[in-house]
Structure 1
């Protein structure tokens, strides 16, 4: 099933911490998530994620790695998704917390992010561990009903399934 993926997200890791954004705007207002945004016309997902990371954090020349997609199924229809990227910046100083126009950036311990009782995270506990620990690339599929997750599955990612190529 083809779907037009319009967004990117990046998880920036430094040691055992991930740089997250507590979003100031919808969607996911008030929750912690990675940084990223909407792909502009003619822009590749890779170009988008690099641009969005720089706009939202000020970090540039980041070496990002494609790790799959997150897609959303609502009423049995795949309605969209985002390309997922990761980056390691072990030798880069980035003091936080830091307030931006998008929200508050802060380093969060990986164990805190994926803790089963953490309700302030944007569904990251479903797939974050897998994207950092496995080399395989997945389509992490969320099924929603009435804005609640009613199903989740990770299947091997097949690029030809999607309309947009990853890199420029």
Structure 2
């Protein structure tokens, strides 16, 4: 079981991202999420974390799989990944908005994926398009040397063992 969650919130053609104030990934843009509380399901965690970090009260989010990592052959970790689409009529708040965890702002997928964008968490442009295009959850497995991805693979997950 992994200890973290992440959610990519969509509204119309934009995503609400967080530029983190603290390590890890300080100064980088990413989805919102956080650490699971004891006995908390990944879905309950991501719904709680989205509310705590953005003030948006979600009632559901689509489980898209996991994102895992190995660091310099020394450590590993992972997170449960979700996508949530806000209703078209949802009244979007003005950004940028400073919150305890960092700065929230709406951006387009083109901005996230732009090859010159060095402000994104490095793995997001690799796994997010797949999550948006496919319903089947998979593990997105990354290997890092230092802070650079040196290997990435998608591994099928047993859908009968979904944590959500």
| TM-score, with structure 1 as normaliser | 0.89
Q: Residue 22 and residue 110 in structure 1: after superposition, are their counterparts in 2 closer, same or farther (change >3 A)?
A: same
1: CA distance, partners of 2:75 / 2:138: 16
1:29 positional shift: 0.3
**What does residue 21 of structure 2 align with?**
24
**What does residue 35 of structure 2 align with?**
38
Q: Secondary structure at the match of 2:47?
A: helix
Structure 1 unaligned spans of 5+: none
For the aligned residue pairs, the C-alpha RMSD in angstroms reads: 1.7
2: CA distance, partners of 1:32 / 1:58: 18
**What does residue 128 of structure 2 align with?**
128
Confirm or deny that 1:110 pairs with 2:109: yes
2: CA distance, partners of 1:97 / 1:147: 27
Kept in 2, the 8 Å contact 1:28–1:122? The answer is yes
Q: Residue 37 and residue 158 in structure 1: after superposition, are their counterparts in 2 closer, same or farther (change >3 A)?
A: same
Structure 2 unaligned spans of 5+: none
Kept in 2, the 8 Å contact 1:10–1:87? The answer is yes
Q: Secondary structure at the match of 1:127?
A: helix
1: CA distance, partners of 2:68 / 2:160: 15
**What does residue 92 of structure 2 align with?**
94
| TM-score, with structure 2 as normaliser | 0.91
- Count residues with an aligned counterpart: 161
Please list the CA deviations of residues 37-90 of structure 1 after superposition, one character each: whole Å capped at 9, or x if unmatched: 000111010110000000000011332010000000234467110000000013
Please list the CA deviations of residues 81-109 of structure 1 after superposition, one character each: whole Å capped at 9, or x if unmatched: 00000000132122211110000101001
Kept in 1, the 8 Å contact 2:29–2:119? The answer is yes
Q: Secondary structure at the match of 1:68?
A: strand
1:151 positional shift: 0.7
2: CA distance, partners of 1:36 / 1:145: 24
1: CA distance, partners of 2:59 / 2:106: 17
Q: Secondary structure at the match of 2:37?
A: coil
